[in-house]
Amino acid sequence: MLDLSLKEIQSKLVTDFERGLNSKQHQQRLKKDGENILQKTHSISPISIFLSQFKDAMVLVLLMATLISGILGEIYDGITIVIIIMLNAVLGFIQEYKAEKSLQALSKLTAPKTKVIRDGKTVNVDTKELVVGDIVLLSSGDKVPADLRIIEEYSLEVDESALTGESVPVVKDATKMVDGINIADAVNSCFKGTSVTKGRGKGVVVATGMDTAMGQIADMIQTAGNEPTPLQIRLAQLGKILVTICLIVSVLVVLVGIWRGEDIYKMFLAGVSLAVAAIPEGLPAIVTVCLAIGVQRMLRRRAIVRKLPAVETLGCATVVCSDKTGTLTQNKMTVEKVYFDNSNIEVTGNGYEPRGQLFLKNQTVSTENKILEKLMEIAVLCNNATLHKKEIPIKGMFRKGKDNWSIDGDPTEGALLVLGAKTGWWKEKLLTNYKIFKEFPFDSSRKMMSVVVDKGASKFTLTKGAPDIVLDKCTKILEKGIEQPLTESKKETIKRVIEDYGKEGYRNIALSYNTYTNDYSVESNMIFVGVCAISDPPRPEVFSAVEKCKRAGIKTVMITGDHKDTATAIARQLKILPEYGKVLTGIDMSSMSFEELKEVVDEVYVYARVLPEHKLKIVKALKAIGHTVAMTGDGINDGPAIKEADIGIAMGITGTEVTKEAASLILTDDNFATIVEAVEEGRSIYDNIRKFIRFLLSCNIGEIMTMLLAMLMGLPLPLKPIQILWVNLATDGLPAMALGLEKAEKGIMERKPRGKNESIFSRGLDFKIFSRGMLIGFITLTMFIIGYRKSMGDIEFARTMAFATLICAQLFHVFDCKSEDKSIFEINIFSNLYLVFAVLSSSVLMLIVIYLPSLQGVFSTKPLELTDWLWIVCIVCIPYAIQMIKLILLFVFKPKAVTTK
């Protein structure tokens, strides 16, 4: 279709370039051609998740044990082991399936959107719903959603490297006809999967899904899966090491036993028991579940996790670099002051309602003023926003609200439209006299925008942009209705006005024009008209969020394209910029070497008038001095910096598709406070992972110690493999899961961030795990010996004592794991009801196994008496008695410490 004219395409595709398809046509085509997707994204099937449960090392050990038990005639043992394996697999499956589902639901949330014209209205739709004939609107940062023939374009440039490998963006031209089918030459078309780097455009969809150029090479495209997090990788490695060690130890124990003349089957049983005891089989599944729960919690706090590692890394963030406009501020813009013809005018009215007046020293300014007229022309015509009455639901119907005005498009431009409307200059009215026939779009590198308009016989360029940039392009000024030379002293006066506005926190836009001759001279020798000062108040919630960051040892840095004075004023208001803090501008940065930037980067709190490439330099410098950096971005050029940052954050509302794709986190509300909440959530998730690792590993060590010590002492096995399996299944799993649901501990945002490469076992966790594991093993063995003596050698009774002690010790210990630095007496043990419920159900399961006659045979248990339970509870409480004594001592001696101070 590349070689057809637009007219031919319009009739061939039965569409309307102005109004787009209607809903009926769209539905019919969608039904006929299918969704606009390259291939069904492959999702893991429930069956493969279930089968993966049997790949586990422990399961293999157990299956082998079952086989050998069967060969040795112990069918009963074999069947029970198989049942437990199955139960374990079902539990593992439920956990992983849920985790997988919630991650899949997440990818739906980040599904790309496209702006199309349907039924004559501009709407944002899911990209996969596009059909041939749809009219698509493209702008900088968009991913081209399907193969398009361009209808109109304004400085449209597209990066087609994904398709052609050529990294230089291609300049598109709707008017060019091409005769071949070579993609690289097709300047009148855009292709699915490429990205718009500059400008705007409108195109008609000519191919979707697998029919697109990208579809034809779809097999070659790698779809990124869910990457494992660094912690998951490290835990998988740890798991392998533990499995190897415990298998070696088990084999050694078996061999030594046989060598000592023990029964082969008994020793084999001992070896299997030890292996079963040692392998932390639940760990990887619970980590996955915990991360998935974290992802859900973040979503509730309006942060979408795109890459799972971000959940972990967020807790390490030491610097959050944030955009100003819309993230730290509300993006609700109002022009409050206008400067033209040496006069400082105040504008009244609030929000987007076009009601307000202009005052000069308390006197109303007449709108019949030539310069004001020119100013409004530029403000309103060099503008892509639209101002309209918002449709609000009234009695179930959508009606246009009376005073409910809103804008579509860039809020800065919206504010200028409202200013125009306040003085009677509506875009629709102006367009009856003017025709816009060219546009040089705004982008954050140029920091200005121009349109070329046709008014009768003359053509003008109307330009608006950052005042420092626009002023540099001006040689004349409009004063008293006449074009005068813009002398240095006049420039100085204007600069002072801009500086004053900036210091008051206003975002400034300068307006200028000239007569259009050709494209090369559009933005030179311009005539300066005036400046609009736009207020954009800080978001109220950001004040406390910045404060929270400070307490949490996280530095907040503002990076903005806005002027230094405006940025400084807002940063001071938000207390981001301390007295001693430095402000750097893009120009300062350009003259600095990387080494020089590294020297000062820790003292800089505000970067103003930066270009997108400066962001990358800032991230690199911060990382080079050891920071873990979270960086926000919205424009297409922010991609590299976002990728380079440890946590790349894209804006959900204003962010471009390309930026979202590069990011690991998307803020659905573009709000800085949400980043801080996500950091808090990240810290809490990591804490929870440490909590259940502490619990699970100390339980495992407890089990190993029980078995190993007994063997070294030449005692009979204190626990049968089935009993250990039961403990691992019914006692460890549930409470560990519940620990993953703990709420954030108080004061979580009062601690310093943890190091990025910090081991999960740091801050004394290894010691805690090992010492408590030893203690659990020791007391279990002690109760085994006591039970053995008391029952005069009844091995089943003694094992039941050991079994009950082990479970009780673990169920008590789970409450210790709720906090890293507080004892069980200083926390509310009922704060997590899931945990209370898990402990209760594990206790009931234990009692069933001990007292239900039909299970006593299976698990070789004997009923215990009240005195036995008293013994068990007493011994299990020893560590808590020690904790209590410590607390009392601390309480008694603390006042003394204070008085000596």
Q: To the nearest whole angstrom, how small is the minimum distance from the Cβ of residue 551 to ligand ATP?
A: 25
Q: Under the criterion CB under 6 A, does residue 80 sit at the interface with ligand ATP? A: no
Applying CB under 6 A, the span of 338-346, 405-413, 736-744, 774-782 interacting with ligand ATP comes to: 405-413
From residue 160 to residue 199, what is the string marking binding to ligand ATP with x (rule CB under 6 A)? ----------------------------------------
Smaller CB separation from ligand ATP, 609 or 772: 609
* Distance, CA of 638 to CA of 492 (rounded, Å): 33
State which of residues 33, 410, 483, 500 lies at the interface with ligand ATP (CB under 6 A): 410
Q: Under the criterion CB under 6 A, does residue 623 sit at the interface with ligand ATP? A: no
Applying CB under 6 A, the span of 321-329, 426-434, 490-498, 772-780 interacting with ligand ATP comes to: 321-329
Q: To the nearest whole angstrom, how small is the minimum distance from the Cβ of residue 114 to ligand ATP?
A: 22
Q: Tell me whether residue 180 is exposed, middle or buried, using C-beta atoms within 10 angstroms of its C-beta: 0 to 12, 13 to 18, 19 or more.
A: exposed
State which of residues 15, 80, 412, 688 lies at the interface with ligand ATP (CB under 6 A): 412
* Distance, CA of 175 to CA of 151 (rounded, Å): 8
Smaller CB separation from ligand ATP, 66 or 461: 461
Applying CB under 6 A, the span of 80-88, 439-447, 474-482, 856-864 interacting with ligand ATP comes to: 439-447
From residue 441 to residue 480, what is the string marking binding to ligand ATP with x (rule CB under 6 A)? -x-x--xxx--------------xxx--------------
Selected catalytic residue, list 134, 142, 147, 323 = 323
Grouping H, G, I as helix, E, B as strand and the rest as coil, residue 606 is: strand
Smaller CB separation from ligand ATP, 215 or 561: 561
Smaller CB separation from ligand ATP, 197 or 325: 325
Q: To the nearest whole angstrom, how small is the minimum distance from the Cβ of residue 606 to ligand ATP?
A: 11
Answer yes or no: 3 catalytic: no
Q: Under the criterion CB under 6 A, does residue 561 sit at the interface with ligand ATP? A: yes
Applying CB under 6 A, the span of 185-193, 558-566, 735-743, 838-846 interacting with ligand ATP comes to: 558-566
Instruction: Output the DSSP codes for 226-239.
Output: -PPPHHHHHHHHHH
Token digits of residue 541: 């919630």
Of residues 495 through 534, those in contact with ligand ATP by CB under 6 A are: 507-509
Q: Under the criterion CB under 6 A, does residue 647 sit at the interface with ligand ATP? A: no
Q: To the nearest whole angstrom, how small is the minimum distance from the Cβ of residue 651 to ligand ATP?
A: 9
Q: To the nearest whole angstrom, how small is the minimum distance from the Cβ of residue 417 to ligand ATP?
A: 11
Residue with tokens 């061999």, as numbered in its chain: 255
Applying CB under 6 A, the span of 319-327, 424-432, 597-605, 758-766 interacting with ligand ATP comes to: 319-327
* Distance, CA of 472 to CA of 59 (rounded, Å): 73
Q: To the nearest whole angstrom, how small is the minimum distance from the Cβ of residue 413 to ligand ATP?
A: 5
Grouping H, G, I as helix, E, B as strand and the rest as coil, residue 499 is: helix
State the amino acid at position 217 in one-letter form.
Answer: I
Instruction: Output the DSSP codes for 811-826.
Output: HHHHHHTT-SSS-TTS
State which of residues 198, 202, 306, 324 lies at the interface with ligand ATP (CB under 6 A): 324
Q: Under the criterion CB under 6 A, does residue 560 sit at the interface with ligand ATP? A: yes
Applying CB under 6 A, the span of 84-92, 392-400, 409-417, 838-846 interacting with ligand ATP comes to: 409-417
Give the other-Cβ count within 10 Å of 71's Cβ: 9
Smaller CB separation from ligand ATP, 192 or 507: 507
Q: Under the criterion CB under 6 A, does residue 305 sit at the interface with ligand ATP? A: no
Q: Say if residues 717 and 270 touch (Cβ distance below 8 Å).
A: yes
* Distance, CA of 796 to CA of 802 (rounded, Å): 10
Q: To the nearest whole angstrom, how small is the minimum distance from the Cβ of residue 439 to ligand ATP?
A: 11
Applying CB under 6 A, the span of 78-86, 269-277, 440-448, 619-627 interacting with ligand ATP comes to: 440-448
* Distance, CA of 643 to CA of 641 (rounded, Å): 5
Q: To the nearest whole angstrom, how small is the minimum distance from the Cβ of residue 321 to ligand ATP?
A: 11
Q: Under the criterion CB under 6 A, does residue 325 sit at the interface with ligand ATP? A: yes
Q: Tell me whether residue 301 is exposed, middle or buried, using C-beta atoms within 10 angstroms of its C-beta: 0 to 12, 13 to 18, 19 or more.
A: middle
Token digits of residue 864: 């215990």
Q: Say if residues 731 and 811 touch (Cβ distance below 8 Å).
A: yes
State which of residues 56, 142, 562, 681 lies at the interface with ligand ATP (CB under 6 A): 562
Smaller CB separation from ligand ATP, 412 or 832: 412
Smaller CB separation from ligand ATP, 128 or 609: 609
Polymer length in residues for the chain: 901
Q: To the nearest whole angstrom, how small is the minimum distance from the Cβ of residue 500 to ligand ATP?
A: 15
Q: Say if residues 559 and 350 touch (Cβ distance below 8 Å).
A: no
The phi, psi pair for 30, rounded to 5°, reads -65, -40
Q: How many residues interact with ligand ATP (rule CB under 6 A)?
A: 21
Smaller CB separation from ligand ATP, 562 or 732: 562
Closest C-alpha among 608, 656, 647 to residue 328: 608
Q: To the nearest whole angstrom, how small is the minimum distance from the Cβ of residue 607 to ligand ATP?
A: 9
Q: What residues does 435 pair with on adjacent strands?
A: 454
Smaller CB separation from ligand ATP, 102 or 585: 585
Applying CB under 6 A, the span of 164-172, 296-304, 559-567, 793-801 interacting with ligand ATP comes to: 559-567
Q: H or E stretch including 700?
A: helix 672-712
Smaller CB separation from ligand ATP, 608 or 807: 608
| Helix intervals (H) in 535-652 | 540-551, 564-573, 586-590, 594-600, 612-624, 639-644
Closest C-alpha among 747, 714, 357 to residue 553: 747
Q: Under the criterion CB under 6 A, does residue 413 sit at the interface with ligand ATP? A: yes
* Distance, CA of 550 to CA of 696 (rounded, Å): 34
* Distance, CA of 444 to CA of 466 (rounded, Å): 10
Smaller CB separation from ligand ATP, 216 or 590: 590
State the amino acid at position 135 in one-letter form.
Answer: I
CA distances from 211 to 31, 143, 216 (A): 16, 17, 7
Q: Under the criterion CB under 6 A, does residue 126 sit at the interface with ligand ATP? A: no
* Distance, CA of 252 to CA of 243 (rounded, Å): 14
Q: To the nearest whole angstrom, how small is the minimum distance from the Cβ of residue 418 to ligand ATP?
A: 14
Q: Say if residues 375 and 345 touch (Cβ distance below 8 Å).
A: no
CA triple 82-84-89, angle to 5 deg: 95
Smaller CB separation from ligand ATP, 235 or 449: 449
Q: Closest residue (Cβ) to ligand ATP?
A: 561
How many DSSP H helices and E strands does the chain contain? 32, 28
Smaller CB separation from ligand ATP, 528 or 788: 528
Instruction: Output the DSSP codes for 431-493.
Output: TTT-EEEEEE---TTT-EEEEEEEETTEEEEEEEE-HHHHHHHEEEEEETTEEEE--HHHHHH
Q: Say if residues 183 and 144 touch (Cβ distance below 8 Å).
A: no
Q: Say if residues 257 and 264 touch (Cβ distance below 8 Å).
A: no
Of residues 719 through 778, those in contact with ligand ATP by CB under 6 A are: none
Applying CB under 6 A, the span of 53-61, 164-172, 322-330, 573-581 interacting with ligand ATP comes to: 322-330
Longest pairwise C-alpha distance within the chain = 116
Q: What b-and-e string marks burial along 410-423, b requiring 16 or more CB atoms within 10 Å of the CB?
A: bbbbbbbbbbbbbb
Q: To the nearest whole angstrom, how small is the minimum distance from the Cβ of residue 657 to ligand ATP?
A: 17
Q: Say if residues 804 and 773 touch (Cβ distance below 8 Å).
A: no
Q: To the nearest whole angstrom, how small is the minimum distance from the Cβ of residue 111 to ligand ATP?
A: 25
Q: Which residues are catalytic?
A: 323
Chain contacts with ligand ATP (rule: CB under 6 A) = 323-325, 410, 412-413, 442, 444, 447-449, 464-466, 507-509, 560-563
